[in-house]
Structure 1
Amino acid sequence: MEDFVDPLLQFIEQAGWLGPFFFILFHLVRQVLFIPVLLICLAGGFIFGGVLGSLYSFIGLMGSSISFYFLMKYIPWLHKRLARLKERVLKKDPDLNVWQLSVFRLVPFVHFHVLSFYVMEKSADFKGYVRQSFIMNIPMAIVYTTFGNLLYDLNPYGLFALASFLILLMIISRNWSDQAVTR
């Protein structure tokens, strides 16, 4: 996988003004290649910086979320497979709000599309799904892309702050997931 991703990221970095287009396209293709969202967002911060990388990652994440919605509607076997995966990840059917889902999206071990599937099932229509995905994708794009930008200039203090934040985030999300599962 690394043999494929590294040259692609170098291509995006050297593509000039078309780089953002290829980066957003890479977000869309990522789901087929099973590349973690975290890596793409980190790369966006590394290549484009915190602000532009976050914007491009957000656009790519929204495109990925929207294409996922239509894939689930038109490919029944994929829908069934993700329903089983959702049952394993979210043991019971918890009642999670969009802010809790946003925090879950920040946890690297929670599958991006499991949460999208949960939102799709809970949304009344496409518009509701897009609205909730919009809110859920903002923190992910900003946090991971900013981390990617920080990794570019990381000093020991930044590394300590990053590690502390991630540990705190995992503890908080674990408590929320434990509460959600026991409901």
Structure 2
Amino acid sequence: MKEYVEPITQFIEQAGWMGPLFFILFHLIRQVLFIPVLLICIVGGFLFGGVFGSIYSFIGLMGSSLSFYLLLSYFPWLHSRLARLKEKVLKKDPALNVWQLSLFRLVPFVHFHVLSFYAMEKSANITEYMKQSFIMNIPMAIVYTSFGNLLYNLNTVGLVILASSLILLMILSRNWSDQVVTR
């Protein structure tokens, strides 16, 4: 994965005013290269800072959500594969709302497209799906991009506080997700 990310980030850094456009496009091709979303958002924090990186990541995530929806409409076999993956990840079919899906998006081990697939199945049409994606992508873009910016400017005390917070969040989300999935 590093062999894909490093040259692309160097290219984006050297692209000048076209860098944000290339970064947004990188969000779209990330799906094909199987690069985790959170890594791209963190790179956005490194390259563009917290505010602009979040904006560019959000635009890229929305484009990724739209292209995902369109891909599933054109390739039915992909739809059935994701249905099987969703069964493995979510076990039963929990009744998750868009806010819960937003929180699940912040958990690094939950697959981005499984949650998109869940939202797509619960949506009546593409407009409703894109509204849900809008809500689901905001926290992810802000948190992980800010995390990348924070890592870029981090000192030792900040690292200890951040690591402690992440451990606590992972413990709480694991307990919460176990309760939601087993119902």
Q: Normalization by structure 1: what TM-score?
A: 0.97
Amino acid at match of 2:84: R
Name stretches of at least 5 consecutive residues in structure 1 with no aligned partner: none
C-alpha displacement of 1:31? 0.4
Cα distance in 2, alignment partners of residues 72 and 3 from structure 1: 28
Measure, in 1, the Cα distance between the counterparts of 2:104 and 2:62: 17
Aligned equivalents of 2:88, 2:71: Cα separation in 1:
21
Are residues 1:26 and 2:11 paired?
Answer: no
Letter in 2 for 1:60: G
Deviation of 1:125 after TM superposition, in Å, equals 1.2
Distance 1:114 1:102 in 2: 12
Cα distance between partner residues in 2 of 1:92 and 1:4? 36
Structure 1 stretches of 4+ moved >3 Å: none
1:114 maps to 114
Separation in structure 2 between the aligned mates of residue 46 and residue 136 of structure 1, nearest angstrom:
22
Q: How far, CA to CA, are the matches of 1:17 and 1:147 in structure 2?
A: 23
1:99 Cα deviation (Å)?
Answer: 1.1
Aligned length: 183
The match for 1:180 is 180
CA distance in 1, matches of 2:84, 2:18: 39
Alpha-carbon distance in structure 1 between the residues aligned to 2:88 and 2:34: 19
CA distance in 1, matches of 2:74, 2:54: 30
Partner of residue 46, structure 2:
46
Q: CA deviation at 1:170?
A: 1.5
Please list the CA deviations of residues 79-130 of structure 1 after superposition, one character each: whole Å capped at 9, or x if unmatched.
1111000000000000011111111101110000000000000111111111
Aligned-pair distance for 1:172?
2.6
Q: What is aligned with 2:97?
A: 97
1:28-58 CA-partner distances (Å, limit 9, x unpaired): 0000000000110000000000000000000
Deviation at 1:175, TM superposition (A): 2.3
* TM-fit CA distance, 1:3: 1.8
Cα distance, 1:165 vs structure 2 = 2.3
Partner of 2:5: 5
Q: For residue 31 of structure 2, what is the amino acid of its counterpart?
A: Q
Instruction: Give the superposition deviation at 1:71.
Output: 0.7
Cα RMSD over matched residues?
0.9
The offset of 1:147, in angstroms, is: 0.6
| Cα deviation code 1:136-167 (max 9, x no counterpart) | 10000000000100111111121122212222
Deviation per residue, 1:15-37 (Å, 9 max, x gap): 00000000000000000000000
Letter in 2 for 1:11: F
Task: Identify the residue that residue 136 of structure 1 maps to in structure 2.
Answer: 136
AA in 2 matched with 1:39: L
Deviation at 1:4, TM superposition (A): 2.3
> Which consecutive unaligned segments of at least 5 residues does structure 2 have?
none
1: distance between equivalents of 2:121 and 2:170?
25
SS at match of 2:35: coil
Write the distance in 2 (CA, Å) between the matches of 1:175 and 1:96.
16
